[in-house]
Structure 1
Amino acid sequence: MSGADEDVTPGKTTIADVIVVKVAGMAAREIPGVHDTGGGLSRALDAVRDRAPGGRRHLGRGVKAEVGERQTAISIDLVVEQGAVVPEVVWHVRENVISSVERITGLEVVEVNVAVNDVHLPDDESFISEALRVA
């Protein structure tokens, strides 16, 4: 007898929400035209944390996931680059998030909701740097 089912050891596997959140966040940031994920306040707080000694980037910022036994639904808040074509960027984000999450976790992604909350302008970096210097 042969078959894939015979090679599987009985038991339950669970995938934590945080894994889906991190994978989705990384996949979204890989897309050209995506500046970052998350809202303005969370990005500002993370910028302070990133500059602190031992600080590291929060990969799941702006990403939420509802994970079931076999399926997941994901919501992502995006900041796009100035000049990016938003519908194209969002389409590529959805495709990459679905592909990455399904490949890495084995979960079926039933939906990816994307909210584009901001556009990154070249002057934004100098504003954030000045705010961090004053704080």
Structure 2
Amino acid sequence: MENPNIESSQGSVRIADEVVEVIAGMAASEVPGVAELNAGFVGDIANMLGRGKNMSKGIKVEAGEKEATVDLFIAVEYGVSIPEVAKKVQEVVKEAIEGMTGLSVLEINVNIQGIVFKTQQNETKEDKMA
């Protein structure tokens, strides 16, 4: 799909897929119960090579001129209701993308790839601070 293209009498505005990915990542990370966004194996390699800390990690966006689909790969906190967290992620991400870009979000697929226990979360936060 092509990047979003907004035409006006003053010219055009193009929104890169990566921008939509960052919007989705910021929105998803604010949902209670979301422990982290997962990029899988390729993202883990990028993190090891020092290319981590981007908010599009674990997100794939396909954006056209007027519509977008989003795939999110997340880990949730132990003890939360996974269906409730996933539904909230879908709602928040859709609202953020549509509000900021004007794109119509057709589909948001939430892939739960792990559960993070509180001790793991503390270790992960400490690793990021170091």
Same fold (TM > 0.5)? yes
1:17 aligns to what? 17
Displacement of 1:56 in angstroms is: 6.8
Aligned partners of 2:95 and 2:121: how far apart in 1? Answer: 31
The root-mean-square deviation of aligned C-alpha atoms, in Å, is 2.8
Displacement of 1:43 in angstroms is: 5.3
Displacement of 1:121 in angstroms is: 1.1
Displacement of 1:90 in angstroms is: 0.3
2:81 aligned to 81, 85, 91, which one?
85
Distance 1:128 1:89, change over 3 A: closer
Displacement of 1:123 in angstroms is: 3.4
**Which aligned segments of 4 or more residues in structure 1 are displaced greater than 6 angstroms?**
none
1:104 aligned to 91, 100, 109, which one?
100
1:34 aligns to what? 34
Higher strand share: 2
Distance 1:39 1:118, change over 3 A: farther
Unpaired stretches in structure 2, ≥5 consecutive residues: 1-7
- State the TM-score, normalizing by the size of structure 2: 0.78
Aligned partners of 1:115 and 1:99: how far apart in 2? Answer: 19
Distance 1:127 1:60, change over 3 A: same
| 2:59 pairs with 1:63 | yes
Aligned partners of 2:49 and 2:78: how far apart in 1? Answer: 23
The count of corresponding residues between Structure 1 and Structure 2 is 119
Aligned with 1:58: secondary structure?
Answer: coil
Aligned partners of 2:98 and 2:122: how far apart in 1? Answer: 38
